[in-house]
Structure 1
Amino acid sequence: MSENTKGAAFMVLSMSAFTLNDACLKGLAGEVPLFQALFLRSIGTVAMLGVMCLAMGHFKKAGSAQDWKLIRWRMLGELGAAYCFVQALYNMPIANVSAILQSLPLTVTLAGTVFLGEVVGWRRLLAIGIGFAGVMLIVRPGTDGFSSYSIYALGAVAFVTLRDIMARKIGKDIPSVLIAFVTSAGVLAFAGLGTFTENWAVIKPASWTMLAGSATFILGGYVFSIAAMRHGEISFVAPFRYVSLLVALILGAVFFREIPDALMMIGAGIVVATGLFTLYREHRT
């Protein structure tokens, strides 16, 4: 397989795993408090990743001081993204949250200009502007359809952008599984502290199943997302993020009876179209 094909395959697996994790977490809404859900899920994720790192000898990989600085920044992005995203997911339709996150190729392009010195022409800047207008159709500030939890979804976009930019800069000699372990350990510690602000709920058998599924899927999402950002050209790999919107639409309709309205679908279409155009222009450039 070529590097581009590997990156695309990892991105499809990553987005599918993350969206299945989202569905499991959304199934816990109203049953398990946010930090408790994140904490219990992270225990399973850290345990599985720890076993993988031990089995493959990844804990012996030292890495440079610069790489570990980037990993800490990536962890910060993951912490913020986890909190903001779950807040939005608990209180919004899964397809709406996923549609807002489809603006990530646009934000990553802007971040690449600022942090990686990439050049962005006027066509891509125009497309980015139109794409953000599409996001506003989904968020709808100042209207009856506006949800304050949309702000959390936008915050998740910002934090995921930070996470992905940092992943691009980390040296390839540090295994993806080790980075995922460190990141998930950070989320575990963060969620553990957060549980002191909540009253713990009694976990029902069905909720344990959701938590186990979430831990398994987020494990795949972590590992595959890091691998996707480290293989192939970003302009080729990034469009495969949009698989998550398709999966979210299906899961939302089948399991949560959430049918998106016309404005949300139009906004999502604009975001996807401008994102694809932006990535196409990056590839041409």
Structure 2
Amino acid sequence: MRSNRILLAFGLVLALSCKSGEKKEENTEVAAVEIWETDFEDDFETINPENWQDQRIWVNNEKQCYVPDGQYGTREVSNGTLKLKVVNVGEARPCDNLDKHGEQHPDTPYMAGRICSKNRKEFVKGKWTARLRLHGNGQPSMFPAWWLLGARNNESPVQEPDETVCWPLTGSGEIDIFEHHGDVKKDHFTTGAIKSEGECDKGDWWSYRKDFPATLDDYHEYSVEWEGSDLVYRLDGEEVYRNEGEGDNYPEPMFAILNFAKITDNPITGEWVMEVDWVKHESRK
């Protein structure tokens, strides 16, 4: 009996040891997946021209005019955050924004800020994150966004010879990390990829995107990361959505865009501000 007990005890120790070894190996694998290296971060002590440039363009039949250099208070940095705004200047004024076909935006009283990292900070895959909040969320016509676009996009500003690819083809693909449609509801944001239909200017806006609740006037971290072949969208580090198998459709370098647009004729009430604490890109080691 004593020898049987010894054998049983030895067997139990061996089993626990093997189980412990398996768990340790499993934990090591998980830790390796989660190790990220920051290769770009901007905490907006200023507008760094090595990271960002103003982007002046007319898209989606939007009602605002994007202006440079923070004119009319549309873009400013103070107290360590970036503020992008839509401002009603009280009277319709000329706008020099052009659409991709060269048509000029009509006169408008609404001025706004938009910056992009095009030809400044562009990365293949990895993880993009911004910490931001809104002031006055849920008002009709509001359309702030934090998103990515392929670096060969042929829309303004065209600055390099390879910027010849039409949206949303590969090279000009779009991923929306955070969008708020004030006309729809308060305290909700939309996230997801744009499905390319394989032809210039033909994209499906709805199939790969979904709407999620969040208290938008509080700071949150909004991110997208490539996980294998998937695109994973996170709110404050927690997965909220996944475009399965879509990550392989975005092999190109991509740049980041932060903007605040106005999409209908509803009047502005209060102050429309998207306040950004920081932006960063990370790559897996």
Tell me the TM-score normalized by structure 1. Answer: 0.28
Larger radius of gyration: 2
Larger relative strand fraction: 2
Higher relative contact order (CA 8 A, sep 6+): 1
